[in-house]
């Protein structure tokens, strides 16, 4: 008991008078030591072999050296060690009853949230977010960056972009709307076979360059720069139906078969000739120099009053000059 008191007194004196402590004999073992002053200084090694070492509301600091927990030879500033193969938590940081950070004997660290640079982390491939394992609750803001290597995209609403380029098979859609402010401008497929199928444009279409097609349908009355068909650059495959319209300014006509007219045919030129064929008039009259012949054949000298007429009756023919029957001929 006296030894304990002496040790305690020496410790107190050492706190108050460090020089006196150096002159006081050292003791190896103390049962209790309580310091009520500012701090206690140990110039050697202090070893606690009991079951606890606690600091109340004060501060425990190790200014130099290392602190070891579970090891008497710490290799780091703070070295927490356990026996080999020990599992469970080795280090826990808690706030009240909540363990916010913990590290296990397997080297696993758990926390409510991690911050900082994760570029050197490994084993994240399985945890990579491919945007398909959850339902988004807010917009995906790309901040001007791209979305690349997407296999496909399914959208329940419209897609707005400054430009859109399809480098694969193209864009598959029921229709393409060119402007949200002009909803009538829609490009879609044409289902009607009578309209040729293909592509339907819901409004007018202006082409700056040229348009090529096997066949065009519709009203072409507004087309410009279209030259007429001179009918000489191709071989007709069907009848030319003029639908009561005229053929005008014809230089000549060569026919390999009969020419039939159901009205009047006027030759305004200087000659009308029939080559090796036959010119026949089945009904009516033929006038030469006469606009309205009264006989089957009436010839009048232009500028003269004399006429030459041939009249045919049953069984005979008559020759008239100036209205007088001059000759009656029988077969």
Mean pLDDT of the region 163-173: 77
Listed in order, strand segments (DSSP E) in the chain are 67-69, 78-80, 89-95, 98-104, 109-111, 175-177, 186-189, 199-201, 286-288, 297-300, 307-313, 316-321, 324-329
Place of tokens 């209205």: 323
Residue 299 class from Cβ within 10 Å (0-12 exposed, 13-18 middle, 19+ buried)? middle
Give the mean model confidence (pLDDT) for residues 45-49: 74
Residue 4 has pLDDT above 50, yes or no: no
60: left (phi over 0), alpha (psi -120 to 50) or beta: beta
Please write the tens of the pLDDT for every residue from 307-330: 666 666 666 666 767 767 777 777
For the residues 119-125, what does the mean pLDDT come to? 77
DSSP state of 149: S
pLDDT at 101: 93
Q: What is the DSSP string of 94-147?
A: EETTEEEEEEETTS-EEES---S--TT--S-GGG---S-SS--SS----TT---
pLDDT at 14 over 60: no
- Provide the token pair at 137: 């609750």
Residue 249: predicted pLDDT: 84
Note the pLDDT of residue 110: 92
Q: With b meaning 16 or more CB within 10 Å and e meaning fewer, what string describes 183-194?
A: eebbeeeeeeee
How high is the pLDDT of residue 111?
92
Q: Considering the chain, what is the average pLDDT of its residues? A: 76
With CA atoms as reference, report the closest residue to 204 among 219, 225, 214, 224. 219
Task: Report the pLDDT averaged over residues 129-153.
Answer: 77
Question: What is residue 102's predicted lDDT score, i.e. its pLDDT?
Answer: 92
Measured distance between the N- and C-terminal CA atoms of the chain, rounded to whole angstroms = 188
Alpha helices in the chain (DSSP H): 2-16, 18-23
Give me the percent of the chain exceeding a pLDDT of 70. 76
Least confident of 111-120, 174-183, 235-244, 314-323: 314-323
**Contact by Cβ (8 Å): 319, 310:** yes
Token pair 């006196």: residue: 20
pLDDT cut 90: percent of the chain above it: 2
Query: pLDDT, tens digit, for every residue of 255-298?
Result: 888 778 877 777 777 777 777 777 787 778 888 777 788 777 77
Cα distances (angstroms) measured from residue 225 to each of 11, 68, 222: 118, 98, 10
Tens-digit pLDDT profile for residues 233-256: 677 788 888 888 888 888 888 888
User: Does the pLDDT of residue 2 top 60, yes or no?
Assistant: no
């Amino acid at each position: 008991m006296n030894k304990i008191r002496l040790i305690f007194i020496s410790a107190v004196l050492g706190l108050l008078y460090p020089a006196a402590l150096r002159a006081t004999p050292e003791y190896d073992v103390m049962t209790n030591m309580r310091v009520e002053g500012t701090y206690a200084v140990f110039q050697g090694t202090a070893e606690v072999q009991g079951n606890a070492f606690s600091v109340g509301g004060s501060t425990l600091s190790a200014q130099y050296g290392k602190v070891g927990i579970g090891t008497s030879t710490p290799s780091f500033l703070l070295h927490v060690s356990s026996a080999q193969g020990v599992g469970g938590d080795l280090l826990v940081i808690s706030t009240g009853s909540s363990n916010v950070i913990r590290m296990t004997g397997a080297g696993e660290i758990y926390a409510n949230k991690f911050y900082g640079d994760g570029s050197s982390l490994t084993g994240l491939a399985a945890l990579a977010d491919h945007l398909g394992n959850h339902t988004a609750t807010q917009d995906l803001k790309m901040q001007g960056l791209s979305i690349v290597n997407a296999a496909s995209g399914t959208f329940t609403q419209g897609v707005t972009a400054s430009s859109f380029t399809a480098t694969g098979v193209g864009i598959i859609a029921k229709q393409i709307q060119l402007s949200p402010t002009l909803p009538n401008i829609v490009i879609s497929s044409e289902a009607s076979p009578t309209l040729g199928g293909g592509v339907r444009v819901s409004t007018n279409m202006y082409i700056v360059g040229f348009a090529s097609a096997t066949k065009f349908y519709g009203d072409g009355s507004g087309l410009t720069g279209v030259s007429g068909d001179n009918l000489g650059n191709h071989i007709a495959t069907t009848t030319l139906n003029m639908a009561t319209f005229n053929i005008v300014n014809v230089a000549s006509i060569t026919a390999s078969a009969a020419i039939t007219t159901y009205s009047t045919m006027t030759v305004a030129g200087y000659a009308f000739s029939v080559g090796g064929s036959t010119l026949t008039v089945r009904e009516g009259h033929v006038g030469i120099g006469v606009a309205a012949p009264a006989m089957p054949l009436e010839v009048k000298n232009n500028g003269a009053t004399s006429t030459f007429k041939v009249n045919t009756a049953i069984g005979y023919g008559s020759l008239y000059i100036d209205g007088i029957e001059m000759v009656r001929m029988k077969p």
